[in-house]
Amino acid sequence: MLNKTAILPFLLAMLYSNDQNISGSISTSVSFAGIQFRIVENGVSDNRYIWLHGDEQTAKMALEDHIESYPGKAFFIDCNEREVSFGPTKVDPNRIFSREGAIVALRKFKPGWNKTVLTAALDNLDYERDYFLVELFPENEGLLIALHNNFRGYNVKKELDNSRFSSIKRGQNPRDFIICTEESDYRKLEMGPYNVVLQDELPNKDDGSLSWAALKSNIRYINIETRLGWLSKQQKMLRFVEGMLN
C-alpha cells in the first residue's frame, strides 16, 4: 500500500498567518504545494495581482509600490529564484496551473519519477490548486494582473501564434507588452501606447501557465511584461491598465 505520508511530505495543506503591513494594509500568507505566497491587501477591491517568478525583481518592486496606492490583493511568491523547491525536484511555479503542464514541469529536472509517486504528486497538486485559485481569482469580474520581467530575448512576437489579435506599436520595445484574455479589455488597451495582444482561445497544448487557467475559468487576466530593470516603464504600464480597465 502506498504510504503518502512517507512519499509526499513536501505537499502541504493551505496555511495562513496574519500581521500588519505598512500603510495600514493587511499582510497574510498562503501556500500552494509548499510554495509560500505573501498576500498584501489594501482597501476593498475585487482586483488581484501576482508576482510569480522570484528572479524578476523589477516586477516585485513595481507591485510593492502599486499596492500601496491601489486597492486589491497582491500575491508575492516567497522565493528569489525562478524555480522553487518541490520535494525531490524543483519547478517553475508558472507551469503547474494545470495537470498537463505540471507533468512536464515535474519531469523537467527529474525525468525518472516513479509512476506511482508522480501520480500521487499530481493528484495532490490538483487538490491544492483548486483551493489556491479560489483565493487568487477575483470575484465580480475583477482583474487578475500578473507582473513579469524578461531578460533572455523573450518578446511579444513569440506570443503572436497564440494571439487572436495584436497591436504592435512603432517605437515600443517588443520586450515590453501586455497580454489580455478578454476582448473588451483588449479593445480599450489597444488604443494606448503599449504593445498588446489578445489571447482568448485556449492553445492545443496547455503549458500550465496561470493565463490559461484564468481563461478556462472566465477570469479577466492581464500580464504586464517588461524588460528586467525597467521599473518606471512597468509602473507606468500598470497604472495605464488600471486607468483604462477600472
Q: Which amino acid is at 194?
A: Y
**CA–CA distance, 244 with 182 (Å, rounded to integer):** 13
User: Whole-prediction pTM value?
Assistant: 0.89
Judge whether 183 lies within some domain: yes
Region 64-79 average pLDDT: 97
Q: What's residue 13's pLDDT?
A: 35
Judge whether 90 lies within some domain: yes
Whether 239 shows a pLDDT value over 90: the answer reads: yes
Judge whether 135 lies within some domain: yes
Judge whether 245 lies within some domain: no
Judge whether 244 lies within some domain: no
Region 50-67 average pLDDT: 98
- The one-character DSSP state at 159 is G
Judge whether 125 lies within some domain: yes
Judge whether 109 lies within some domain: yes
**CA–CA distance, 215 with 119 (Å, rounded to integer):** 25
Q: Residue 184's domain spans which residues?
A: 5-239
pLDDT tier at 78, thresholds 50, 70, 90:
very high
Structural domains of the chain, count = 1
Q: What's residue 23's pLDDT?
A: 52
The tens digit of pLDDT for each residue in 103-113 reads: 999 999 999 99
Q: What DSSP assignment string belongs to 72-107?
A: EEEEEES-SSSSEEETTEEE-GGG-SSHHHHHHHHH
Q: Which residues contact 207 (CB under 8 A, 6 or more apart)?
A: 95, 100, 101, 104
CATH code, 56: 3.40.630
